[in-house]
Structure formats: structure tokens, C-alpha cells
Structure 1
Amino acid sequence: MSEKPDKAAQGPLAGVRVIDLTSVVFGPYATQIMADMGAEVIKVEPPAGDNTRWITTGPVPGMGGIYVNVNRGKRGLMLDLRQADDRETLRRLIATADVFIHSMRGRAIAKLGFDYAAVKAINPQIVYTNCYGYSRRGPDGDKPAYDDTIQAECGIPHVQGLMNGEPGYVATIMADKVAGLHALYATMMALFHRERTGGRDRGEGQEVEVTMFEAMSSFMLVEHANGAMFSPPTTPAHYHRAVEPNRRPYKTQDGYVAALVYNDKHWDAFMAAVNPPWASPEFATLAQRAKQIGRVYALLGETFLTRTTQDWLDTLRALHIPCARLQTTDELFDNEHLNAIGFFEEIETAQGPVRFPGVPTWFSATPGRVRGPAPTLGQDNEAVLSELESVAPAIVSESK
């Protein structure tokens, strides 16, 4: 039996109880941040556990790296919602909660008896967040969704193809994580509204829907809508600088460097310091360069081949031009800046020490932190059920 996650350093969500029926990454990433910010998150899993327990490696079976990361600081409750007693336990938990969040398909959660109407009947002030692939208001409302399929539908492989000549996914589960951030802010906005209208006792709860396809369509069209927003359209729906094939890290004599010699201030400083042989008035302004950005990138690429990576970093930093040495993801764990600010937090767990990437935001009065390890399957059943005996009366049972 485990204790509740550490409360020594209260975050901005201290006192908020979240019932988390999400799985994989979309929902768990949202609730992981809630836990980091002080919420008590109770992760409810079926007897088979969250699939993410098994898809990456860890020191013991069922505690893979992705699962351990996005479920840190949560309490673990294993319930078989096919069983009446376990459904009753969930109803009693709902009566004590501020937030109910799930990632089941609409028909599935309704069949179990935990759609919004049923949950609201138990706790009218609750914020109820649905994490779906597609909005229920459209024809694709009940389609399954995964990161790869959502990337495809929102245009990521298309714009990657414009850049690279062949469609491809980006090498991160972007749709899951972007949608998770949308689920987080949407839930927090609804919770803020509840607090402004009377709080936990009298405030207005509501149902929230967050979907991967709509979230990623909005995300992609920030810049790629471009001239397609206008009537009639003035350009195709892509941002030409972002998809330019020559937009890539610059190869140097001994490696690669990322640099953005872009605005007029940086361009003028670079030209004065480096004086490449191709310097010309035709590149003098940002507007001129934007119209021929592919050529500009190609010429810069030729210039960066003439020096070493460190030489370029020294030059560019002296000119205050944004630049960086290419790093591997492994190197992030040894990054001087991240380590200087204490970004990584090492937590002792039953499986040994785990070095977590920490909270990326900072609060002067209510800082977040990694509250503890991820739960093993059902590790908090005894503790949570014992607490319910004293704080949550039985709910009227479902009809037989």
C-alpha cells in the first residue's frame, strides 16, 4: 500500500481531485501535468492495465518508460468496470472529485454508465472532460484515432513531403502531446469557470470535449493556413519558409549547426562580419529574402561549409544571432543549461532511481514538481477504498 503523492510543496492545483480514466499519452500527459501542479490524480485502470505499460522498456515488466513518465505522481486504482461493485466504487469516487477525464469512445463510456449525464447526476459541479479522436458532432465522431493517423489527416506528412520530397511523419508523437496540452488548458478553463460561479459547492460544472483531429488541425493551420484563409485564396495552404527543402541544419567542416540569419538586424550583422562572396543588394531586406528563401538558404549553406561548428557558434553568438549545436535526445540529460536550473528530478522508486524530465513552467508562489513515481497496477486500491468508507456514502445502485 502506498501513501498519497507528496504534498510538501503545494502547487497551484493543490486540493483538486482528478479521476483519470485516460490511457496511452493524450489524456495521461494532461493529467501528469495536473499531478505535477499539485492535483491529486487517481488513475483508474482495467485489470489488463494501460497499454503504455508495455510498449517501451523499463527495469521491470509493466513499468515502461513512457508509462512511468506520463503517470508520475498519480495514485493507482485498478477497477473492472464490467463488475457492478467496481462501478459503484467509481461512482463514490466521482462524488468526491473536481474533474473526471476519460479517453474512451463515446459509446463505450455511455455503455458503462459514466457519460456526462450520469456523472453530473452524481456530482453536478464536476468538470467532465472527453478526450476523443474526432468531435462527436461530425461524421467521424466514433472513429478510432492514433497519432500516425491524425498526423496524416492534419497534413503533417504532406508538408514534410514538400520539404523532403517524400511524405513522412515527424519523429515524435506530436498529435498525442499537442492534444494533451489542449485537454489540460480546456479542463483548467472549465475549472476556473466553476470557481468563479460558486466553487466546489455551488459552481457551474460542465462537459468539455477535446479532440486530436481538431486540435492538430488548429495547430497546423496557425502558419500553414497562410493565404488559403482569404477569399479568393492568395496562396496554397502552406507556409513556404517552413517547407523549403533547404531549410535544414547547416553542415559545417566537422558537424552541423542550426542558425537563423533571418531578420534585417541579424542579416546585416552577418554580412558585415562574414562578407560572403555572394553578398548582394538583392538580399538587403527581409521582404526580398522571403521571396527567394530557398536560394538564400542554399547560399548560406555554402558559407557554413567553410568553418568548424565551434567557430560558427562563437561568431554567431558574438553577433547575437540565434544558433545551436545539434544535440541528440540522449544529450539532453547532460545539457548544461537544464542541469543548471535543476530541470531533472531524481525520484526513488520501488524499481530504483528514476531521473524525470521536470516541470517546464515556473511559479514564484506555488511551484510545481514531480510528486512521486508512477503507480504499479492497482497499488493504491486498499488506501483509496479505505478513504472512501469515511468520506463518500454509497451511491444509489444501478438497476439490476
Structure 2
Amino acid sequence: MKKILSHLHKLSLSRKLILGFFTAIIIGSILLYMPFSLQDGEHISFLTAVFTITSAICVTGLSVIDISKVLSTQGQLILLLFIQLGGLGVMTFSSLFFLMIGKKMSYKERELIKEERNAENNGEVIDFIKKIVLIVFSIETIGAIFLTLGFMGEFPLERAIYLGIFHSISAFCNAGFALFSNNLESYSGNVVINLTVAYLIILGGIGFSVINSVLVAVRKDVKRFTLTSKVAILVSLVLTFVGMIAFFFLEYSNPTTIGHFSFFDKLLASFFQSVTTRTAGFNTVPMGTLRPATIFMFCILMFIGASPGSTGGGIKTTTIGVIMLYVVGVVQGKENINIFNRRISWDILNRALAILVISIIYVSLVVMAVMTIEKNMNFEQVLFEVVSAFGTAGLSMGITSALSPLSKILIIITMFIGRLGPMTFALALGEKKVKENLRYPKENILVG
């Protein structure tokens, strides 16, 4: 036992983080597989339990079962617990527990939480955890109140409260799980539910550090946000409104999506789908009947995902922001990457490009693998499913339950990698940074 603990102690931060999430998935899968988690007469395979819990803890929302009909109330609450666990982060959640019982955190534990939350330093980790918890539960409580009001017109008060709490946590954690067989399609015209879920998704996907930066600026009357906050907010706004306008025009006359909606409901649905597509997985219109151009746009949005340190996945808004700034700079002939009167380090660009390339290669390989296994599914469906899993978006064109066991395993791995980030896995494989002792002569190479 001592040897095992000693070996675990020597693991890199990235490997400890992966092990923490993997352990949580195994525990959650066993709990969800138990009879008390299922409704009378229902049975699921252990692979289905693993798939569902992975989707919950990786805050994805893809599911091979109808959780409203298969899971009991206890099972739904277990699922909700792991959604919250995934939203806060396994290490953050466990550290909160130890802080509550009076255990002090070591330097390595602080570093691990910094790695999980993608924070810039570990100097104020304890305060950061307390702020995260306060922010999360405050936002989720407010969201639950508004959603309860939205559901009260259709359900008894007790049921409306339950639905409000479940969907508030699921929305803020960007999980996308809903307790309705058709997700939120029945509420496409409900302003309260649409706007509440949308803003919960936005706040969960913008990142805890960004929310904290805004709160500090407001409370202390600080005029300058961190550069991360500025870029994350800017890119998120651009993606949200570009996605909204594109969806509105692409699907305007599609009778199977928003073609029969009123003008206001079309705008509402367009805004909602633009927000939820990048990270959350809720939908108020059927995904299986989208036009090809819309499907392609959704794949791009899901691939980009949320902001760093948030509850969402994808390559992150700041990553694509840095790359786009670099591209613009190259076109304009600039020597440096500049934004908001600040210069971005070339190391940051190198990391951003590495994340982009690794992600594209990984998604491409998984798409090819699933296409080889699932011979009856078309390219659009498979690409959409894989990108949705990688971006932890949770949207599906309806093929999730029809996937073969091997394809489900590939999707499980993809959700896992998408939640923790491709760079975390790349660093875990590499383990140590290689220091170059030899520097070769420089020579030009023609590109483009």
C-alpha cells in the first residue's frame, strides 16, 4: 500500500488530475448501475452507466438513455451530484470537503487545483475555492428560483422546484441534461426558461476567474480587467452574436426548426441555440433536421467551446482569440501579437497552436474510427457527435443510443479528453519538459 501511495505521490499534476476524474467516474458508474438508481423494471448495462456518468462529470449531456424515464429520483440526484462535481472540478470539490473538516492544503494540492481550474497562480487558492463555491451556489440558487417560476404554470409547486433546481445546476455547469424526453423543445417560446437557462450557461461558460475579475472590478471600482477576462468576454460576445445571426438566417425558413415560429420566437430560439451550442447541449429545436450549413457552423462553435477555467470544454475562447489575433497580425505585417495595449508572449501562441493542432488531429482520428465502425451513419452525424463530445456540448443528431459499444467507448474517451483538455493529456504523456542543449542553424522554409 505504501508503494502505491508513494508512486501516486510522484505522479505529475496532469496525471493526478486524470486519475482523480477517472476514479470519480468509476465510483459514479457503480452507483448509477445499482437497482436503486433505476425505475422499476428498468435495467442498464455497466457501459451505459459509465457513459452516462462520464457525460455528467465531464458536463457534456450526451446520453444513450432517457434519464427522465430510466433513472429513479435517486438516480437523477446521483447524476446531478456528479454534474455539480464536474462543474466545480473533482480536485476543487474534494479540497472544499477537506477545508470544511479543517485539513490544511499542501503546496502540491494547491498546484493541482491551479492546474484543474486553469488559474494563473496558486497563491490564493483557498480564497479562490471559497469564492468559486459562493459564486456557484449563489448563481444556481437565483437560476433555480426563476426556473421554478417558469415551470410553475405547468407543474405542481414541489415538482416545479425540483425541475428548477435540476435544470439550474445542469445549465450553470453546462451539462445539458434535461428531465424531458425532447430536452427543452416544448419550451421554445417560454421567455423565462429560455433567458434563465441561457444566462446560466453564459455565466458557467465564461470562467470563474472572469466572473471573479468582474466582481472585483465592480466592488473595488477597478477599471482594468485581466487580459484573460477581456479576451474571453470579447470572443464570447462575438461568437454568441455571430452564431445567433447565422442561425436566424440559415434556419429562418426551415419548417422543421424555426420556420413556423413567430419573428420574436425565431430570435429567441436563435439566441438560445447560439449560447447553448458552444458548451451546454440544451436545445429548443430538433437537431436532426438542421440544414447542412447550420450543422457545420455548430461544429465550429462546439469545437471552440467555453472559456478557460469554466465548466465547459473545447479548445477555449482565448485559444482561438490568440490564434486569430496572430493571423490578423501576419496579414497586417505586425511583428508582435497586440491587444488592449498589451503584447502577448510567443509562448502563449505556441501553446494555443499546439492545442489547436492536437485537437484537430484527435477529432479527425476519432471521426474516421467511428465512421469505420458505424457503416450505416453518415459523415454529418458522426462529425457532429464527435465534436459535441470533444467540446462537451452534448448536442446530438439522434445517433447516440444507436452507437455500437466500441463507438460508445471512443465517445467516452473523447468526453474525458474534452473536459480535461487535450493539453493536459499531452503533458501527461510527455511527463517532463525536454531541455535543448543543442541549437541548430536557422534556415527559411517556404509555406503557403
TM-score interval, normalised by the smaller of the two chains: under 0.3
Taking structure 2 as the reference length, the TM-score comes to: 0.25
Query: Which one has a bigger Cα radius of gyration?
Result: 1
> More strand by proportion, 1 or 2?
1
Determine which structure has the larger helix proportion and give its number: 2
So what's the TM-score if we normalise by structure 1?
A: 0.27
